[in-house]
Structure 1
């Protein structure tokens, strides 16, 4: 749409409503293959698969969770198609023209942290391949730099640079990379799964893994209860849904480029419930077959590839998951902070410059590698505010405004969304109350039951959204 006299403090070319819309169903589908098919995603998918206890339970728990993800992503995705604006601009409708910077920066902080973590994971897969060579292994063990081995530093920097090349030409390059990487990763994953199943001589769903071994291996997945029990299945579904908390906010960064709501719906249908079920199934079967072959529960794909006798298979596994992890980094942790930082200072920061800032922060953090320490708990705590933010934004868009938004007013400093000096106090009150129940009480107190934390994001969405609705409707 054509904007009328947008305020320079709220507008630049990258933040403006999308005018070039070339993302069809296939490109939207590959947003999800890029987002899920990573080292971290594989670990979680394999863990949740094994904790289901049987194939039927897997279909019920992961299937139900994936359908919920589909519905939620369609909600925020449709808002992106209709308005054409990125997440920080859409947030202005509920948080105010300048207040929207607060949720945007929360998302950016979490994304910068995980940008470094995912880059480290991708480079780690390359390192695991290279040290199969005795010479490289010796170099890895004897040469140090910045608190890491020199080989790790070199691989991290190379992967870091590759990601910058992907976004060098903007969002259209991101689409082309995803359209190539998504299918390539699927082909490689299927090859690895078939190889291990043939080598194992059996096709199974993890029932033969001793329960004590299984629980120890999957402890970090955060799923309480006995594998296959109703409590465990509910926690599996909740954990799977919560894994996408960041993308619920900024999926409109991508859906704004979709050709239509129909294309978005088709891409989401194939990319979410269908693709998620298939990915979890392949990850689970591969992990189960690896247990039969090697006698260990290997939930991380680089652990499996390290066992391969074949250099070709080891290289295929390492490169597959390195590329896949680059995909999720670009989708979840580069595009988002690029728009978020641009939204804070649109006169001075473009999409590309915002992305460079995010990548630069990740590079600065690397010597300390906070993602390998307790700092991850801090970032997860900050990230838990995403539940209330999502609840507030969706209540505002669908229940308060009934899916109709004056897009031009989102770029007006003194327009409809100025509220109290550019800040919507009601939204921040709802955010604070939602945070109390989604993160503060379950993290720092024992007032709430132990299981509450597993569903904290859901309580944040429900309570934050409900409080916002009451405050808005009570003012009428």
Structure 2
């Protein structure tokens, strides 16, 4: 009876495509993988060094980077402090991005799969669920921000659109015109969410050409329109208004805030680097490149906002508001288009693809990358981001502060690969829960312990950020440098525990790479039942993999 019910509710028509491989198991029926989670085959690795550079240029040129300095200047620091903080933050986070990105280049597997090596199969769900919550939330918020720029584009062509009759209650935090703009931007994303990640590199290349032109043009306008001074924020009198310990804590808090914006990518870089056909050494290009690029864009944001304050009498860090003030409708439209393209690129690279990989790992039988991205887009409506931004500041603070959990997660990924396992993973075992990465009931207690200890010091400040009425006293201070503190403590605890209680069952003499498996140098046998699959299954497969049924076993040859 139980087996009948199980078969009845499996919904075979909804299952995603499975391809027989040593990774997905016999005839592709593994609970832990599907075709999108399997390592990328050699012929499917399309991302060159230039494509990876374009990806980062695409990710950097967006409104969020523009606004980095907003909160920094608001708490009393100067624009020079802001520039130094952004540069330092990206020097730190780009190092972690490079280290974790290298794992994807070597094993061509996504973050949710690679996390199993250090966390265990069930333990990895702690890292996966933490990231998918952030990714889906920020996709909704960034879609709303993209809608704001679409609103500017429409009003540049049709000025009376701003006066469109509004039938939505003010309590909802959105007007009919803004809802239409949100819908249009949401719809514009759908074709790109449907595309394979290999094809998305063309989007990133296009964005990396067009958007920087717009940003540099705005920078030129900022100085030319203010007689070369750049406006009040860049004047010689614009100095920090705080000093002493308050200055130090403000500096560290701002550093943590900037790092937190890219804490997700410090974890999920393998989701993109797995498509790379370049060698691991090119991942180190990010360390000098990212601080320069992001600091430059942050400076553009400061200069443009400063010029906007001089011209329009208000200090507003939202680029959509600045563009809306321009009298030239053509400039307004094309600038709006550039910012909408910027929002589109970063929403896919930082949010929807991340969520899709996580959802595929949680439900591999029914969700692949394409379905995961479309599901993420549907959830954007369920989250009603306009209401969140209008009424739920506590929830917004919670999601922003939630990145404190990503520092410890990134630490475990870095140290497990580079130090504990000395870059030696068995890529086949990463897909089989009864293999060497089983640990204790699928959980590596060392990683869970290090994670909990790393997060604990930041919890008082984390709670205070959500509800300021709760005052933990001096307990709030560690939260000032939450990401760095969490990363450091977790690193120390995880390395010590893994050294004293060495996971010897996971140690292998040499790495087992996916190309060896696909080329047949390393084989994997999977026992199958003839009745379950039929006697006609003698040989199959695709690409480099061929399968042969021999005496009740399906063997890769």
Q: TM-score, normalised by structure 2?
A: 0.76
Whether 1:61 aligns to 2:79 is no
Quote the residue 1:182 is aligned against: 208
Quote the residue 1:262 is aligned against: 281
Distance apart, 1:301 and its partner CA: 0.6
Q: Which runs of 4+ in 1 moved over 6 A?
A: 209-212
Of 292, 313, 330, the match for 1:312: 330
Quote the residue 2:419 is aligned against: 399
Q: Distance in 2 between matches of 1:293 and 1:440?
A: 43
Of 345, 357, 363, the match for 2:381: 363
CA-based RMSD: 2.8
Of 94, 97, 103, the match for 1:79: 103
Change (3 A) 1:442 1:352: closer
Of 391, 405, 408, the match for 1:385: 405
Distance apart, 1:232 and its partner CA: 4.4
Distance apart, 1:390 and its partner CA: 1.1
Of 463, 466, 472, the match for 2:489: 463
For the Cα contact (< 8 Å) 1:388–1:431, is it kept in 2?
yes
- What secondary structure does 1:416 align onto? coil
Quote the residue 2:150 is aligned against: 126
Distance apart, 1:416 and its partner CA: 0.9
Quote the residue 2:161 is aligned against: 136
Distance apart, 1:263 and its partner CA: 3.5
Equivalence map 1:86-97=2 (5 Å): 86-97=110-121
Quote the residue 2:349 is aligned against: 331
Computing the radius of gyration from Cα coordinates, the structure with the larger value is 2
For the Cα contact (< 8 Å) 2:66–2:300, is it kept in 1?
no
Distance apart, 1:309 and its partner CA: 0.8
Quote the residue 1:14 is aligned against: 36
Residues 112-162 of structure 1: CA deviation (Å, up to 9, x unaligned) = 1110000000101222443465521221x5333894322222221221122
Of 438, 457, 460, the match for 1:437: 457
Larger helix proportion of the pair: 1
- What secondary structure does 1:97 align onto? coil
Bigger relative contact order (CA 8 A; separation at least 6): 1
Change (3 A) 1:80 1:163: same
Q: Distance in 2 between matches of 1:177 and 1:368?
A: 27
Change (3 A) 1:302 1:209: farther
Q: Distance in 2 between matches of 1:155 and 1:237?
A: 34
Quote the residue 2:221 is aligned against: 195
Gaps of 5+ in 2: 1-19, 465-470, 503-557
Whether 1:152 aligns to 2:178 is yes
Distance apart, 1:448 and its partner CA: 3.6
Residues 247-277 of structure 1: CA deviation (Å, up to 9, x unaligned) = 11101111111222233333x2575122112
Change (3 A) 1:231 1:39: same
Quote the residue 2:305 is aligned against: 287
Q: Distance in 2 between matches of 1:357 and 1:128?
A: 28
Quote the residue 1:410 is aligned against: 430
Q: Size of the alignment, in residue pairs?
A: 463
For the Cα contact (< 8 Å) 1:24–1:264, is it kept in 2?
no
- What secondary structure does 1:318 align onto? helix
Stretch deviating more after TM superposition (200-209 or 60-69)? 200-209
- What secondary structure does 2:147 align onto? helix
Whether 1:98 aligns to 2:122 is yes
Q: Distance in 2 between matches of 1:169 and 1:227?
A: 50
Q: Distance in 2 between matches of 1:78 and 1:275?
A: 21
- What secondary structure does 2:367 align onto? coil
Of 148, 161, 170, the match for 2:187: 161
Q: TM-score, normalised by structure 1?
A: 0.89
Q: Distance in 2 between matches of 1:61 and 1:377?
A: 21
